[in-house]
Amino acid sequence: MKILTFNAGSSTYKSCLYEITEGIPQEAPAPIWEAKVDWSHHQGTAEIQVKTATGGNLEEQISADSHSAIITHLLDTLCQGSTQVIQELGEIDVVGHRVVHGGRKYSESIKITAEVKNAIAHLSNIAPVHNPVNLEGIEVMEQHLDVPQIAVFDTAFHSHIPDAAAIYPGAYEWIQQDIRRYGFHGISYQYCTQRAAQILDQDINSLRIITCHLGNGCSLVAIKNGRSIDTTMGFTPLDGLMMGSRSGAIDPGILIHLLRQGNYTVEELDHLLNRDSGLKGISGISGDMRQIYHEIAQGNNRAKLAFDIYIHRLKSCIGSMIASLGGLDVLIFTGGVGENSAEVRSQVSDAFSFLGVEIDRQKNQQKPVDINISMPTSKVRLLVIHTQEDWQIACECWQCLN
């Protein structure tokens, strides 16, 4: 079965083609074909990178007036040129889409129908940055491929969070309005949970796990008996940890204060909290942790403050997840920062040394991938896992159709 996965973001796309023949292998294979698109750097220009398992490679910039045109161009690279891996699009059996918000209705992956698309569109009002582009990707694929399409929801992994953790202490009427904690990054968490069990060769149901998904968006999840029981992102992906350009949790009274002062419209507040806060807002430089490190080395105090706040809030939220779990057996780091920042991993681990957490500093510095970086005497296993959301989406497609 040839499975095309599609992960549509507001300024990036990622797509992979996998082939599964005799069931899902224990470890994720390399995709047959992989494409990345980024048009965040230059208005109206898409930067495209395509590579294949056999060494085919394509890097180009194209002028694109619409996301639809970009997707069409990506599909063309599957069937022609140096990155050709199939003769025609008809060889693809199914397309799996990452959909950020599935609301309360969708607790597992599902074949896309008109009803599902309407639900995704309806949920755009609480995931305005993500769901509209997810839906656009689905509709463009439908124009090119007459095959089943599967929606894989980021919120599904968190659908069993207990009410005490999911329901906000506001008006009771919010419950009827489906205003509750949904959580996100669920596809990544599902993959990392299964991978952790493989690395440790243990039953996942026997482990209390906290996974730190630290990228431009950041969140934590507390996992018990293989299920999410608490998480930091909430009704929207804005809640919880300090992120690249998102504020994370703040006193809601601040927003009331700013609105009363008359200095902000609702749209301006939305942009401030989602685009101009977090590491970017405090440092005044960037939401990219690599840039923050560079500026700290140059003596930039605002960059240092941004990093210190980031670490403080990360440690604080991990502490609350430990309380939800009643202890901790495994701490996982994933995402761009989680996988690549030895400093973040070290500071977090040191903060919980009172629980018997001991990091192997040599392993931590060696760009670890899918390994245990804790000392043999550590009471908590520390894992760095390269999250593979695209492969998890492919696995969900296989399971849906089999």
Structural contact between residues 208 and 223, judged by C-beta atoms closer than 8 angstroms: yes
Domains of the chain are 2-153 (3.30.420.40), 202-384 (3.30.420.40)
3 state SS of 131: helix
pLDDT of residue 64: 74
Ordered per-residue pLDDT tens for the chain, 402 residues: 999 999 987 778 899 999 998 888 888 999 999 999 988 777 778 899 999 999 999 999 988 778 888 888 999 999 999 999 999 999 999 999 999 999 999 999 999 999 999 999 999 988 887 899 999 999 999 999 999 999 999 999 999 999 999 999 999 999 999 999 999 999 999 999 999 999 999 999 999 999 999 999 999 999 999 999 999 999 998 999 999 999 999 999 999 999 999 889 999 999 999 999 999 999 999 999 999 999 999 999 999 999 999 999 999 999 999 999 999 999 999 999 999 999 999 999 999 999 999 999 999 999 999 999 999 999 999 999 999 999 999 999 999 998
Residues pairing with 218 in the sheet: 214
Asked if 193 and 184 touch (Cβ cutoff 8 Å), the reply is: no
DSSP 8-state assignment for residue 205: G
Q: Are the C-beta atoms of 324 and 177 separated by less than 8 Å?
A: no
Statement: the pTM of the whole predicted model exceeds 0.85? yes
Tokens at 343, concatenated: 């400093």
- Report how far apart, in Å, the C-alpha atoms of 265 and of each of 29, 31, 249, 275, 290 are: 48, 45, 20, 15, 32
Residues 6+ apart with CB under 8 A from 366: none
Q: What is the pLDDT of residue 30?
A: 94
Taken in order 102, 108, 110, 113, the sign of the CA dihedral is negative
Please state the separation of Cα 96 from the chain's center in Å.
16
Distance (Å, whole) CA 248 – CA 303: 18
Residues 15, 6 contacting (CB under 8 angstroms): yes
Count the residues in the chain. 402
Element (H, E) at 69: helix 67-79
Q: What residues are paired with 382 via a beta bridge?
A: 331
Number of H helices, E strands in the chain: 15, 14
3-state secondary structure 71-121: HHHHHHHHHCHHHCCCCCHHHCCEEEEEECCCCCCCCCCEECCHHHHHHHH
Provide the annotated active-site residues.
Answer: 154
Q: Point out which residues pair with 15 in neighbouring strands.
A: 6, 35
User: What pLDDT, on the 0 to 100 scale, is given for residue 23?
Assistant: 86
Distance CA 79, CA 257 (A): 56
Question: Pairing between strand 330-334 and 381-384?
Answer: parallel
Confidence at residue 42, expressed as pLDDT on a 0 to 100 scale: 73
Measured between alpha carbons, how far is 285 from 149 in angstroms, rounded to an integer?
40
Give me the phi and psi of 331, to 5 degrees please: -120, 120
| pLDDT for position 315 | 98
Distance of CA 332 to the CA centre of its chain: 14
Burial of 130 (0-12, 13-18, 19+ CB in 10 A): buried
C-beta of residue 168 within 8 angstroms of C-beta of residue 181: yes
